[in-house]
Structure formats: structure tokens, C-alpha cells
Chain A
């Protein structure tokens, strides 16, 4: 192929795609691309945070009352679960970089389990809210009629924001699962570490979104 001519032989690398000159350029491109993607994700959640900010300023007292129905205990546990998963993800990236297949399998597996645990706890919380008619659908009913409308707004934002976050957790789990399978089949530990590192970046982002959501939703000051 004509493209081959352009390479000095020393620059060839087992993981190099044809459009790049050398492996450094390819890795830097991955990093820039991933960060650009994360910027789009920040803007995506940014609109929800903006809506939340506007309405909390407008209806602060009602938001304070409504947030009391959230389970701070479960929310706190979930925060630690997700933080732990970020820690194991960081270890998995490290293991990928030093080409430890065993370490990758262990830590990706741990991350996947913690992410699953997060979703289970979230599901328990959701089911409580549905049982108490706090899901802002047709069956919504808030005990204090005076602030029912604003409480509905709060729960719209609660379900909107945590639901979007949960979708991102699920997407992350799919990618982490793919990385896990990839590591399992990587008998000679020859795979490029960059995909795992990119997965790590994404997972930390998912974690950080929750770090903002948790205090905004669960810890509203009076």
C-alpha cells in the first residue's frame, strides 16, 4: 500500500492504525478525543444542573421539604460504592499499562460488581419512591398539598438526573464488561492498554457526576 512508504520501519507498532504516523500520535489522539467527548457529556448534564439550580433558587423551601423523603443512608452508601469502583477502575488501568492480565480481570470484575451494586441500591430507592407515589407521573401524590407542585418539580429533576446518570452507569458497565472479556481472551497480554484507560476516564466521569448529584439532591441545607 502507498501508506506504507510513509513509515520509517522503526515507527511501526503492533497497535498502530493506518491513519496515524506513530503510536504516540495515536495515543494522544485517543486522549484528546475522549476528553472532547467528556466535554459533551458535561454539557449534557450541565443543562440538568442549570434547571435544578434555577428551580432550587425559586422554590428553596419546597425543595428542602421534598428532599427529606430521599434516603440519605442509601445515598451515602451508594456514594462510597461508586467511589470504590473508581478506585478499582484506576487499579485496572494501572494493570493494563503494566500488562498484568490477572490484575485487569480482578479489578475490572470488581468495578463491574460495584457498579452493579450501585444500580441495585438505586433500584431499591426507586421502588420506595414508586411505592410512596413520589414518581412524578400520573400517580404522583405528595402528602403536603401546599407544596405538592414544587415537590413534583423536585422529583422530576431527581428522577431525570439520577435516571440519566443510571443510563450512563449501565453504558459504563457494558464497556467495562467488554474490556473484561477482552482481558480474559488476551492470553499473551498483548492488547493495547489505551481502551482500558479510555474506559477509566469515562468511568471517573460517571463517578464525578454522582459526586455532584448526591449533595445537590440529598443534602439540601435549610
Chain B
């Protein structure tokens, strides 16, 4: 596959370990390559585009978070505190739309993936830098449309836009919101295509598929889901708009159309979309766990394969969202069975991470604590998914807070913990500064506590029958709702703290070396922050990834070659730099 990258083409005598040294005096870092606004807004550097994404995605996270806070405050009392029911519906829809389309789906791929995929495969940039910049503009345009829609009346359909409510009854900004989601979809398609091409065609010499970091495998699987799934939801939403605006009815039961068809098409994307959120998160966790346990990832091939298995199986389970929507019982049984199968590759990952930690030299730096958060929360989120995959229990639990709690454990508990793990882990690489370790560890602990306090009560009240999306509720649920809102407040602290100390670190943080964690991987062989073209010389990879076990021993590298197994870490332990 890398036939075009003949190692012989590289001047080997130059491609040696000197690229490990923090030679800031040579190539200027990507951050100092230009200081004008223009140099940022027209950049084609994947690292700068990642930073643009970091800024805009963080803004949307704040908006989605404020909406969540408003919903939680509203639910303190059984008959609401400060909103009308119309406003309440619009508020939880805003929360869902912003968090899913503008935070969770792009967060890890567009920020960390954008920054790291070329670095990890030893390329100077993604395959299509202009397409990459376009994707950020599409994302921003889509986001602005969605926010404009929210400010000019909002949407009350829920993020799922179910017909016929969205096409016929809803008197809110459905069209504009859908236009925003539609445009943002193209941004994620652009990112997906870029990753697929880069991973296929731009790997450094010697970097075979099974020497790729698991982060890359996860992003490859994610990109396949994006490319196959996103167009389907795009056309589906387009048909909703056509039906709403031009009365071209495809889902309208008055004309023989079938709203359940909408649900099929919608979930064909929107279930795999969950894996768009969680697979990159799993990629981050594999990197972090391995680094802070100082061990090779246990069962590398299985972890890589499980990402692909999740991508494939993820496309075969959408019907479990529709057990009570009137789809055939037999279809329900097949979807139920297939949904159980997803548990296998997910469990492979969790068991293999656990086995990686087992007998490792574990240190508890902040990224590792966030990774522990991830495993703990994902475990609960994943296992409760099995309750919902079972036909009989789902009939009882669907449309209750049990579902809300389940998917928040996976998508918020899982994906955001991993996002924080990755953000802290690669913060020195991205900014050239170390974050302060104490506050970061504290954040991980607060996040874990706050999360459970918010969503464990929701499992309980869902199980005893509290329906989701209801504005008013019977008084016996009030205690649970108050606990949940209290937890959300604690979580808010965990989200605000990093904003403070990460911004602080930009100016006052300790300067980062090229490889502060003593981690393996090509991204740690270049200076922090990396120069614009990443590598002075094309790296040649000669070994497997995650060679932590050999960190103190000589590696199978010649002195003319940079190895992905990073002899140059010199066996430094993370604890030594904390």
C-alpha cells in the first residue's frame, strides 16, 4: 500500500533521531507561522484548522451546556420553575441539536483527529488541506444557522425531527435548523474523506496497517461510518424539508407515505452516529492507557479489529430505536440480536484496556484519570444498553429517563471523558505548554462524581416510569430530579475548571518538551508545538507501536532511522514530569 513511499527515496542519512530534539531554533512552530487573523482564517495547516475547530466547538459546547443547565433548573419543581412548556420543548431540542451535531460528532475527530492523524502517520498534512479548511467553514455556517434558528424562535421537535410532527404540525424553525444540520453534515463528510485518503495513501515508509496507532484505527473506522451514514441522514432531512416547504410528501401518511420509513432512514445514520462519537474516544483511551501503564496495548490486533467490527455492526442495529414504532416483531427480534452483538467488540476493548493496565507501571496523571472515568462510565452506559436491546425490557424502558441516562453515560460520560483525556494528553503537543496537573486531576474526580450524581437518579426514575422529555411530572419524582440537577451543577464546575487552567497554562504553563510523557508514536518525535510541515525528514518506521516494555532496553532501530517505538524517550516516566 505504501509502494509510492519507497524508503529508498528518503535520504536516510538525514532522517535520524535529531528530529526528536526540541530544535525550536530551526523550523518555526505552526503557531508562530503567522500572527494575523488572515493567517488563521485562510490557513491550510491541519494543526491550525484543528485549533479553529477547538475554539468553535468549545463555543457550541458552552451553548449546549447552558441549554442543559436551563432544562435541569426547570425540572427542579414538578410543574416547572421559569419556562413555558413551549420554551421547555425548544430548550431540550436546542440542547440535543447543538450537543450532537455541533459538539459530540465533530469534537474528537475534528480537533484531535485533525491535529494528530497526519502527525501519527508521518505525513506533512492531510491529503486535501483546502477541503479541510472548507469543512471548518461548513461547520461554522451550519452552526450559525442552527443558532440563528434558536434565536428566532427555536425548534420544538427534539433533535430527532420525527415526522409528521416536524413536517406538518410543528410551528417552529424546523427548516432552518435542519439546514444547519445538513450543512454541518457535509463538514463531517469532508473530514471523513480526508482521513480515509490520508490513512490509505500517506502513511510513512514502514508504517504498515498493523503498526498504526489504535487512535488511527479508530478514526479510520469512524470515517467509514461518516462516509456511509451521513449522506443518508442528509437526504432524509432534505425530504423532510421538501415535505414541509413544498408539500412533496414522502413520509406523509395522508398520501400513503409512512412515517416509520423516516425513522428507518433517520436511525440508519443516527445510530451509527453514536459510534462516530464513541469510536474516536476509544482511540484516545487506547493511547492514554498504554502510555500511563507503560505497557504495550494488550491484544493490539483485537482492539484494532474491534473498531472495524463496531463500525460494521453499528450499521445493522438501527431498528432497536423502533421496537415500539410499529415495525415488524420479527424485524425487532433480528435487531435485538444484532444489538447484543455490538457488546462483543465493545467488551473486547474494555477487557483489553484492563489487561493493559494489569501489572503495568501505572501513574495517575490527569489523562489517565480521565481515561479511568471513561472506562467506568462507558461500562455502565454499555451494559445498560443491553437492557434496551432486549425487546421485552425495552418496551417498558423506552421513552423513559432510563434511555436518557443510558445514552448520556455513553455519549457524555464516555465521549467527553475521553475528549478531556485526549485534550490533556496532547495539550503540550498542541500548545507547547504543560497544563497544571493538580487542578486537572481534581477536575477528573469532580467530573466523575458529578456525572454519577446527575445520571444515576435518572436510571432509577426512568425504571419506575418517568417519561423522557416531559415538562411536568408527578411530585414523587422530585427528589430524583433535584439530585440530578445538583449533579449537573457539580459537572458544570468540572467543565469550567479546564477552561480556566488551560487558558492559564497558555501563558504561565511550563514549557513542554517534545515528549513530556515519554510516549511512543510519531507525533512525539517532533517538537512541541510542531513546525508547520510536521517532519523535517520523512520518518521511517521499523517497529510495532506501543513499545513501552522496551523503553529501557535497546530497540530494533538503526541509528539512521526514527522508530515509532521511540527509543528517544530515554525511558522517562510520566511521573517524573508531572
Contact = CB atoms under 8 A, between A and B. Distances in A.
Contacts of B229: 43
Contacts of A46: 231-232
Interface-central residue, A21, A25, A149, A152, by most chain B CB under 10 Å: A21
A109 B492 CA distance: 60
B329 interface: no
A54 B26 CA distance: 63
A1 interface: yes
A149 B193 contact: no
Contact of A3 (B234, B242, B265, B533): B533
Interface stretch (B3-11, B295-303, B498-506, B561-569): B3-11
B193 A19 contact: no
A2 B533 contact: yes
B4 A21 contact: yes
B222 to A, nearest CB: 14
A193 interface: no
Contact of B231 (A1, A43, A140, A156): A43
Interface string B54-76: 00000000000000000000000
Contact of A44 (B5, B202, B232): B232
A8 B538 CA distance: 11
A219 to B, nearest CB: 21
Interface string A21-48: 1101100110011001101110111111
Contacts of A78: none
A94 B239 CA distance: 38
A131 interface: no
B249 A156 contact: yes
Interface residues of B, number: 57
Interface residues of A, number: 50
B533 A47 contact: no
A21 B5 contact: yes
Given A1-B533, A6-B538, A19 B255 contact: no
B183 to A, nearest CB: 14
Interface string A56-77: 0011001000000000000000
A1 B538 CA distance: 14
B4 A19 contact: no
Interface string B1-43: 0001100011100100000000000110000000000000000
Contact of A29 (B14, B201, B247, B537): B201
Contacts of A28: 4, 201
A6 B189 contact: no
B536 interface: yes
A5 interface: yes
B235 interface: yes
Contacts of B510: none
11 contacts: A6-B10, A6-B537, A18-B533, A28-B4, A29-B127, A29-B197, A29-B198, A32-B196, A51-B265, A152-B249, A153-B250
Interface of B: 4-5, 9-11, 14, 26-27, 118, 123-129, 189, 192-194, 196-198, 200-202, 227-232, 234-236, 239, 242, 246-250, 254-258, 261, 265, 268, 531-533, 535-538
Interface of A: 1-3, 5-6, 8, 11, 17-22, 24-25, 28-29, 32-33, 36-37, 39-41, 43-48, 50-51, 54-55, 58-59, 62, 136-138, 140, 149-150, 152-153, 156-157, 159-160, 164
